[in-house]
A and B are shown apart, each in its own frame.
Chain A
Amino acid sequence: MTERKSPPEMARWGRASGSGREASFFMKAYRSWYRVEWEGLENVPKEGGALLVSNHAGLMPVDGGIIQYGIEEELGRTVYSLAHHGFWRFPFAGRFLNQIGAVVGHPQNAHRLLSEEDAFVVVFPEGEKGPVKPTTERYRLQRFGRGGFVETALRAGVPIVPIALMGTEDVTPTVGILKLGGYRYPITLNALLFGPLLGTVAHFPAKIRARVLPAVHFDEPPNQESYSKSLMMDSAEAIRGDLQQALDEMLERRESRWLG
């Protein structure tokens, strides 16, 4: 067999270096605007990949960035977010997302990051239903699909780490839904107050707290041809239940939306 050559240096996932402008701007907001506080960081695995799952909301959600940059800042581990492929259809949008560490939400991308690169991958099992949930449904988790994220973790042989986020669903509250071209887009209060462009980045200064729940480990071997659908669905529901319980507790303890 011929000896394999190393590929050239490349931005494999299109990500800019951590000291990029976007990262630096976001970290300022992370510390000063959202004043993020973590608890339960000891539950994050020290080695290997892990699938991080959380609650999701808003038109320009900050939840992915909070988890991604937060974990990288606090623990020095590499984190990627999975995002809807539709963003990549628009000029600059996909490239920008790649640069800040998001990749197309495809099981093979997640698998490669988790099992080959030992990275953390953030996924929001509520999917598109998260950003369009109205203010009356804030912190009420929507259905977790068919448990596909559990299959991704099983296949890669990594644990799932649930992270409950409090405050992220208050920074861009959804007040209506725009149906366009078969998709549903949230109309946020921010967009109504500041206009559609400025409204996507002008977020309300809600205090954000993140609670990391104990990691969920599986006994199933990785890379199997298929996995039990009931195992996937049951595990997804159990994780959803744990996250909802944590969110309820955090919501009850919260004294002020802005001060935490």
Chain B
Amino acid sequence: MVVLGGGTPLGRRVVASLRQKGDVDLAIGIEHQPFEDPAMNDGLEFLSWAPDHRPFAEYLLKEEIDTVIDCGLVADRGGAVTQSSGADVISAMYVGAAIADERSSVRSWVMASSSAFYPSESYMPLLQRESHSNHPRANDRGASIAEAEDYARSLAKRLPHVNVAIMRLQELAGGEYRGPLATLLARPLVPRILGFDPAIQLLHVDDAVGALSWAAGVELAGLYNVASAGMLRWSEAVEATGHRSIPILPVSVSLFEPLLERLEIPFVPASMFELLRYGLAIDIEKIAGAGWAPENDQLECLATLA
């Protein structure tokens, strides 16, 4: 098995988890280029995407890889937020093209996607299901993820012998990993938007690793939401961390964010404004039906932020 994004905190843990399993012959973390800190490069192999997917396809052939786990999409909450809008889909296309090579022995592709696919809006249901079909608007943070998922789905149709599992991971928390929501909750003074108390949900990094490893092990196919058990209101989450909350007016301050950051004044980042008004919780019934359940609940996720 290879783990793309093997240098990310999530990717590293997935590699470690796979290596502990007796039935996995080989688990390799792959990055596109070495990190500046040499210590970060231990246990990783480096494969350039340039000029195209062929170096990766050759690598898959040479090592007789049967499973690819792609953790590259969830470097941040939305994965795509910090990258250019096309980065996710181009990356997915390269992986797909390498898997589609007629000599490839890959039979399973597990894509770690993100719950950022779902919009945070007043008209959405309390718990969002995989069947939600409205694509995010083109400028939304989920647009790039939706495009990458579409590509993976189309590949699954074209190559029925390859099991493609798309795992929509909820906001990560736990260990050294803190997504943007967890980062906000970890502050001693947590901002809350005045007059709103949205439903939120986290995914313990151990559960994320467990779900991805399990999906690879059972050669799962299809689209699945992944979150730790339960959900909470924002006020409950803040209370559970033992931190204090501070009310923020329901007005976006995107222009002044750098200044507020510098002055250490609590604010809600523009990218999280809608999330803290309307919330985002996902339904994990489908993956539970397939045979996986989280080990942690929301309070255990929050315990890592106290």
A253 at the A/B interface (Cβ < 8 Å)? no
Minimum distance in angstroms from B303 CB to a CB of chain A = 11
- The segment out of B141-149, B194-202, B259-267 that lies at the interface is B194-202
Structural contact, A3 and B123, CB atoms closer than 8 A: no
B292 at the A/B interface (Cβ < 8 Å)? yes
Minimum distance in angstroms from B236 CB to a CB of chain A = 6
Structural contact, B236 and A10, CB atoms closer than 8 A: yes
Structural contact, B124 and A106, CB atoms closer than 8 A: yes
Structural contact, B123 and A7, CB atoms closer than 8 A: no
Complex CA–CA separation, A93 to B298 (angstroms): 26
Structural contact, A14 and B199, CB atoms closer than 8 A: yes
Assuming the contacts A1-B292, A5-B295, A86-B122, asked whether A95 and B195 have C-beta atoms less than 8 A apart, the reply is yes
Minimum distance in angstroms from A154 CB to a CB of chain B = 17
Assuming the contacts A2-B293, A88-B278, A108-B127, asked whether A12 and B231 have C-beta atoms less than 8 A apart, the reply is yes
Q: Which residues of A contact B232 (CB under 8 A)?
A: 8, 10
Minimum distance in angstroms from A55 CB to a CB of chain B = 24
Q: Which residues of A contact B293 (CB under 8 A)?
A: 1-5
Residues of chain A at interface, number, CB under 8 A: 31
Structural contact, A11 and B126, CB atoms closer than 8 A: no
Assuming the contacts A1-B292, A8-B232, A10-B232, asked whether A104 and B196 have C-beta atoms less than 8 A apart, the reply is no
Complex CA–CA separation, A92 to B126 (angstroms): 17
Minimum distance in angstroms from B174 CB to a CB of chain A = 15
Complex CA–CA separation, A1 to B199 (angstroms): 28
Total number of residue pairs linking A and B with CB closer than 8 Å:
85
Q: Which residues of A contact B295 (CB under 8 A)?
A: 2, 5
Q: Which of A64-118 contact B (CB under 8 A)?
A: 85-86, 88-95, 98, 103-104, 106-109, 112
Q: Which residues of A contact B298 (CB under 8 A)?
A: 7-8, 10
Q: Which residues of A contact B297 (CB under 8 A)?
A: 5-8
Minimum distance in angstroms from B79 CB to a CB of chain A = 25
Complex CA–CA separation, A107 to B125 (angstroms): 8
Assuming the contacts A5-B296, A7-B297, A10-B236, asked whether A95 and B125 have C-beta atoms less than 8 A apart, the reply is no
Q: Which residues of B contact A88 (CB under 8 A)?
A: 122, 278
A13 at the A/B interface (Cβ < 8 Å)? yes
One digit per residue, 1 when the CB lies within 8 angstroms of any chain B CB and 0 when it does not, for chain A 105-139 equals 01111001000000000000000000000000000
Q: Which residues of A contact B250 (CB under 8 A)?
A: 91
Structural contact, A103 and B291, CB atoms closer than 8 A: no
A104's partner among B126, B231, B236, B288 (CB-CB below 8 A) is: B126
Complex CA–CA separation, A7 to B197 (angstroms): 19
Structural contact, B195 and A90, CB atoms closer than 8 A: yes
Complex CA–CA separation, A88 to B129 (angstroms): 20
- Residue among A6, A13, A89 facing the most chain B CB atoms (10 A cut-off): A89
Q: Which residues of B contact A95 (CB under 8 A)?
A: 195-197
B68 at the A/B interface (Cβ < 8 Å)? no
Structural contact, A7 and B195, CB atoms closer than 8 A: no
Complex CA–CA separation, A14 to B281 (angstroms): 13
Closest residue of chain A to B285, judged by CB? A116
Structural contact, B233 and A104, CB atoms closer than 8 A: no
Assuming the contacts A2-B295, A95-B195, asked whether A104 and B125 have C-beta atoms less than 8 A apart, the reply is yes
Complex CA–CA separation, A98 to B294 (angstroms): 28
Assuming the contacts A2-B295, A4-B288, A5-B297, asked whether A14 and B229 have C-beta atoms less than 8 A apart, the reply is no
Q: Which residues of A contact B123 (CB under 8 A)?
A: 85, 104, 106
B212 at the A/B interface (Cβ < 8 Å)? no
Q: Which residues of B contact A86 (CB under 8 A)?
A: 122
Minimum distance in angstroms from A120 CB to a CB of chain B = 17
Structural contact, B292 and A8, CB atoms closer than 8 A: no
Minimum distance in angstroms from B105 CB to a CB of chain A = 28
10 nearest A-B residue pairs (beta carbon) = A91-B195, A7-B230, A108-B125, A4-B293, A88-B122, A92-B195, A85-B123, A106-B125, A85-B122, A8-B299
23 pairs, A vs B, C-beta closer than 8 Å:
A2-B292, A5-B297, A7-B229, A7-B297, A7-B298, A8-B232, A8-B297, A8-B298, A8-B299, A10-B231, A10-B232, A10-B233, A10-B298, A14-B197, A14-B233, A85-B123, A86-B122, A88-B122, A93-B195, A94-B122, A94-B196, A95-B196, A95-B197
Q: Which residues of B contact A (CB under 8 A)?
A: 122-127, 129, 193-197, 199, 210, 229-233, 236, 250, 278, 288, 291-299
